[in-house]
């Protein structure tokens, strides 16, 4: 009966990623935890500070020319040199979800250059997007990024650029968790 393709992010006292910092960028934060564990099987609920879950999906906005660019530098998680990570759950406003596909695509891609900005950081930052609005979670997306200490400033720059965009005006809750591999 267990659903497949669900990844669980668990804030707890031990785990393979040590929490360096947690902050509420917009809206309500999450309870502080010392570590983060990422698991594919339903975790026990004991001793969890928080538990978020999501699924990977097909690309929902990308066009063929954009995908050609993305595919030139596939995102690889677990690279040994990538000792740092960021876990950023995001919830967009109801206004965003009332937009139609073409309207969301226009704001994200044309007005905000989300895909174009992201593409510049592909070699420095590995990432994976998880969806969770569809399964009734408190966030809409769980975003996960891995990078090296050398590329930390590049990642900060990427975050800075994305948060300035038109698209980010629709973000009503965002928590930033910075992590270091144990």
Does residue 41 interact with a copy of itself by CB under 8 A?
Answer: no
How many residues touch a copy of itself under the rule CB under 8 A: the total is 33
Binding mask of the shown chain, residues 42 to 81, with x at each position contacting a copy of itself by CB under 8 A: x--x-----x-x-xxxxxxxxxx-xx--------------
Q: Are 60 and 134 in contact (CB under 8 A)?
A: no
Does residue 136 interact with a copy of itself by CB under 8 A?
Answer: yes
Residues 6+ apart with CB under 8 A from 104: 61, 96
The smaller minimum CB distance to a copy of itself, of residues 97 and 150, is found at 97
d(CA 19, CA 78) in angstroms, rounded, equals 17
Q: Three-class SS of residue 118?
A: helix
> Which residues in 115-134 contact a copy of itself (CB under 8 A)?
131, 133-134
Query: Given the rule CB under 8 A, which of 16-24, 82-90, 94-102, 173-181 is the region that contacts a copy of itself?
Result: 94-102
Does residue 160 interact with a copy of itself by CB under 8 A?
Answer: no
Residues 6+ apart with CB under 8 A from 75: 122, 126, 127, 128
Q: Please report how close the Cβ of residue 78 comes to a copy of itself at its closest, in angstroms.
A: 22
Q: Are 81 and 148 in contact (CB under 8 A)?
A: yes
- Residue of 26, 20, 168, 13 whose CA lies nearest to 87: 20
Q: Which residues bind a copy of itself (CB under 8 A)?
A: 1, 3-6, 42, 45, 51, 53, 55-64, 66-67, 97, 100-103, 105, 131, 133-137
């Amino acid at each position: 009966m267990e659903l497949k393709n669900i990844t669980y992010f668990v804030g707890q006292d031990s785990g393979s990623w040590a929490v360096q910092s947690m902050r509420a960028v917009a809206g309500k934060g999450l309870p502080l935890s010392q570590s983060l564990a990422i698991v594919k099987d339903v975790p026990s609920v004991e001793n969890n500070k928080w538990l978020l879950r999501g699924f990977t999906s097909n690309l929902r906005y990308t066009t063929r020319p954009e995908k050609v660019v993305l595919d030139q530098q596939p995102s690889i998680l677990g690279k040994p040199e990538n000792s740092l990570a960021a876990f950023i759950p995001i919830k967009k406003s109801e206004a965003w979800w009332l937009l139609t596909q073409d309207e969301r695509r226009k704001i994200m891609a044309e007005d905000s250059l989300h895909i174009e900005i992201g593409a510049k950081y592909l070699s420095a930052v590995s990432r994976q997007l998880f969806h969770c609005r569809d399964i009734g979670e408190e966030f809409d997306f769980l975003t996960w990024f891995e990078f090296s200490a050398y590329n930390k400033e590049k990642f900060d720059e990427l975050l800075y650029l994305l948060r300035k965009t038109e698209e980010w005006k629709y973000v009503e809750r965002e928590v930033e968790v910075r992590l270091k591999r144990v």
